[in-house]
A and B are shown apart, each in its own frame.
Chain A
């Protein structure tokens, strides 16, 4: 049985920041991740980050993963347990894990004094005939295949979703040598930043707004995609169909928080569509309704990596403070909250602010 003071599940931007923040104040931290390298989804993000310097603006995601990964590996207070899948949370506060190595695996248990859940999010599917055909992928999965493993998903792609993820990955498909037939967006306007949209347009890739997938076609694998125009009630308009030959269909239609451990632990969950679905209720210290269990990053509501790093830092500091380890907690947390406010400012942060307000209302109603 492992007995860390703080256990962090997930070594992405939130989890690494949480582990570093807690260890900074002397906590013995166990940081666990399913993959062989820390970094989470940063390891595939070849684009440069926006935001402020504190959150590595102007730096590529892959570079941030390397920098944070080095800090985590070299910190004497952090035990990094890689290739390890957390299996479950039990009522006595024990977490079970399976660690894999050279084709073998071992079963491990930990009973941490504080738990920080930074499990991230998964990509959403979209309902249309043929959506289960091989060749229909989450856009982020294709990004992993290309940018981490150096493998092309196919020859010619259609992208669904003109938010930042859809636009960025369309560009990266071209960088990998995959043709992009079109970007399809159900909303009447492009959701992502104009700078990303213009890059796509300059490559001659059409962005079809108010369009969605009618059907994916193919016998054993994807061979083509039929899209159609949507009316103002988001229903397909017969007669407006357009066929694309494609062996790859990428879905960039949003993410859902990965919250299984939080459900198991009995954390109070609230449905907030703006934050990606069911999210744990938590206070300003990122603590859930179960004392001692904290949450950060996309698992607490889908945003982006910069705010994940900051919410991770708050959770890590709060976990350390609750153990009596962080005397300056109030001041440090105030600084971090100010950074979050900047990251969530303006029109791009509007949806997140609405979601957080809704979460606050639910909290007050109880």
Chain B
């Protein structure tokens, strides 16, 4: 639900974009957090917890609590309270911990085995 009238604040007009939630087209404003666009559309269950599979939603809004991790354009563990909405984004509820290797092209399929892929992420720039 969008706020239509407010005694103090005005919300400047922004560009409307279409994005996809679980394959379903929705409208939101470009640059707002994905979580805000989902809330405006009445969607508050953002993922399922890894162990008990309990529904989780928005909690901290500052990118700290990890309650709102979703799969965005195939990439898991995106903090949708801080990630900005763009035209055509594909947003999905995340079940469990998410699979990063699937997101970067499935490990072997991209010419890397999973060990090499992980090594590349952590080795070179580490302390």
Chain A residues within CB distance 8 Å of chain B: 34-36, 46, 60, 62, 85, 88, 90-92, 94, 96, 102-103, 107, 120, 122-123, 125, 132-138, 140-141, 144-147, 149-155, 175-177, 220-221, 258
Q: Is B109 part of the binding interface, using a Cβ–Cβ cutoff of 8 Å? A: no
* Residues of chain A lying within 8 A (CB to CB) of residue B1: 151-152, 154-155
* Residues of chain A lying within 8 A (CB to CB) of residue B45: 134, 220-221
The reply to whether B59 and A34 form a contact with Cβ atoms under 8 Å apart is: no
* Residues of chain A lying within 8 A (CB to CB) of residue B39: 145, 151-153
Nearest-neighbour CB distance to chain A for B111, whole angstroms, equals 22
Besides A107-B125, A141-B58, A152-B1, 15 new A-B residue pairs in contact (Cβ under 8 A), listed by A number: A122-B60, A135-B44, A137-B57, A137-B58, A140-B60, A140-B61, A144-B61, A145-B39, A145-B61, A147-B9, A150-B2, A150-B3, A175-B6, A175-B7, A221-B57
Chain B residues within CB distance 8 Å of chain A: 1-9, 11, 31-33, 35-36, 39-40, 44-46, 49, 54-65, 67, 73, 81-82, 84, 86, 125, 127
Nearest-neighbour CB distance to chain A for B29, whole angstroms, equals 8
The reply to whether B59 and A136 form a contact with Cβ atoms under 8 Å apart is: yes
Question: Can you list 16 pairs linking A and B with CB atoms under 8 Å apart?
Answer: A34-B82, A125-B59, A132-B49, A132-B56, A134-B44, A135-B57, A145-B39, A151-B3, A151-B40, A152-B3, A154-B44, A175-B6, A175-B8, A176-B6, A177-B4, A221-B45
The reply to whether B61 and A138 form a contact with Cβ atoms under 8 Å apart is: yes
B interface SS class = loop
* Residues of chain A lying within 8 A (CB to CB) of residue B33: 149
Q: Identify the 3 closest CB pairs spanning chains A and B, nearest first.
A: A134-B57, A141-B61, A150-B11
Nearest-neighbour CB distance to chain B for A205, whole angstroms, equals 17
* Residues of chain A lying within 8 A (CB to CB) of residue B84: 36
The reply to whether B64 and A141 form a contact with Cβ atoms under 8 Å apart is: no
Nearest-neighbour CB distance to chain A for B45, whole angstroms, equals 5
The reply to whether A149 and B60 form a contact with Cβ atoms under 8 Å apart is: no
A252–B108 alpha-carbon span in the complex (Å)? 48
The reply to whether B44 and A123 form a contact with Cβ atoms under 8 Å apart is: no
The reply to whether A151 and B63 form a contact with Cβ atoms under 8 Å apart is: no
Nearest-neighbour CB distance to chain A for B94, whole angstroms, equals 13
In chain B, what residue has the closest Cβ to A102? Answer: B86
The reply to whether A141 and B81 form a contact with Cβ atoms under 8 Å apart is: yes
A96–B124 alpha-carbon span in the complex (Å)? 13
The reply to whether B127 and A90 form a contact with Cβ atoms under 8 Å apart is: yes
Q: Tell me which of A96, A122, A141 has the highest count of chain B C-beta atoms within 10 A of its own C-beta.
A: A141
A204–B19 alpha-carbon span in the complex (Å)? 41
The reply to whether A134 and B56 form a contact with Cβ atoms under 8 Å apart is: yes
